[in-house]
Amino acid sequence: MHTRNAMARRTASEFGLPPFVGAVRQIILASVAIYVFILLMVSFAPAVGRAVLEIGVLDPAHVRQGWIWQFLTYAFMGMDPWQFVLSLVGVYFIGPAVEARIGYSRFWSFFLGTTVLSAVAGFVLSLSGVVAQGSAFGLGAAANAMLMAFFLFNRDAPIMAFFVVQVPIKWLVLFFAALEVAYLLLSHFALYYFVLLLGLGAGYVGYASFLIRKPSTGLSERYSSFRNAYYRWKRRRAARKFEVYMRDHDRTVKFDEHGNYIPPDDAKKGNGGSKSGWVN
């Protein structure tokens, strides 16, 4: 019975389709809706279709004129059906595993952050006037970022490649990176393929920056440390003021380095004695 259950779980994990839920579902549905709208507009209202693509596709010339929204909107633009389907497949098959690991809200932050970071880096390269020319569009950069995050979370995990053979995830990352480098060279360093490759780098940056940390815990610890340091400073300051006040009234009192009061008898003790008072 145990063997049968294990085989069932293994079959489901290797050959079952990922759940179509959460942020991945929202991203895919939004992308499909926008893509269908663009196709209809290009077919039946070409002027509108061209305007939508011009506004949404990442074009460095437009960004230099202030169209900074293209750093995000390019991900939802596209025309070529094959490129569109491939990018959606990447998001659908890799995205759910990453979202399950980091949660809905952090997945959205990861998606938006890596999408923008890839575009900004591509735009910076385009300023050379030599490489990263042309335009960029599609979810390819975000899909690459998800692939990198999945690899970093599961470095030794096998994955079914193209529904045919099971390979280590690291080899799949290297395969796609090499394929995109080849296209980059063939396209004379076009912006489109630069942004795709930068998606892998953005995925690594996103993973290293906040996916492996616990932001809420870190902020709480830093706040507590700052608060305690502030209270210790206030206590030492109050102790110094009190010492001055008592000296002005011909009396002497002592406080330790933490601002705690030392009774006269304890002040006369040597190093072996203990101080009265408390320390925070």
What pLDDT, on a 0 to 100 scale, did the predictor assign at position 234? 73
Same domain, 174 and 225: no
**φ, ψ for residue 254 (rounded to 5)?**
-125, 145
Same domain, 146 and 233: no
Same domain, 118 and 186: yes
Residue 31 lies in a domain: yes
Same domain, 225 and 160: no
Same domain, 75 and 90: yes
Same domain, 116 and 148: yes
Residue 98 lies in a domain: yes
Same domain, 231 and 203: no
What's the rounded Cα separation, in Å, for the pair 23 and 185?
Answer: 34
Same domain, 230 and 165: no
Residue 194 lies in a domain: yes
Residue 278 lies in a domain: no
Crossing angle between the packed helical segments 191-206 and 169-186, to the nearest 10 degrees: 150
Whole-prediction pTM: 0.71
What pLDDT, on a 0 to 100 scale, did the predictor assign at position 77? 96
Task: Give the helix/strand (H/E) hosting 255.
Answer: strand 254-255
Among residues 148, 151, 144, 150, the alpha carbon closest in space to that of 196 is found at 144
Percentage of the residues of the chain whose pLDDT score is greater than 70: 75
Residue 275 lies in a domain: no
Domain residue limits at 204 = 2-213
Residue 73 lies in a domain: yes
Whichever domain contains 191, its CATH number is 1.20.1540.10
| Per-chain mean pLDDT for the chain | 83
Q: How confident is the model at residue 207 (pLDDT cuts 50, 70, 90)?
A: very high
β-strand partners of 190: 133
Same domain, 152 and 254: no
Distant-in-sequence, close-in-space partners of 238: CB < 8 Å, separation ≥ 6: 259
Residue 60 lies in a domain: yes
Contact 142, 199 (CB under 8 A): yes
The SS3 assignment for 269 reads coil
Q: Quote the Cα angle for 208-212-218, to 5°.
A: 105
| Total domains, the chain | 2
* CA 107 to the chain's CA centroid: 8
Q: What is the bridge-based pairing of β-strands 254-255 and 261-262?
A: antiparallel
Same domain, 154 and 209: yes
What's the rounded Cα separation, in Å, for the pair 146 and 140?
Answer: 10
Is pLDDT at 161 greater than 70 in this prediction?
A: no
The SS3 assignment for 236 reads helix
What's the rounded Cα separation, in Å, for the pair 208 and 199?
Answer: 14
Contact 253, 242 (CB under 8 A): yes
Residue 277 lies in a domain: no
Same domain, 136 and 198: yes
3-state secondary structure labels for all residues of 107-158: HHHHHHHHHHHHHHHHHHHHCCCCCCECCECCCHHHHHHHHHHHHHHCCCCE
Same domain, 111 and 232: no
Averaged pLDDT, 208-217? 65
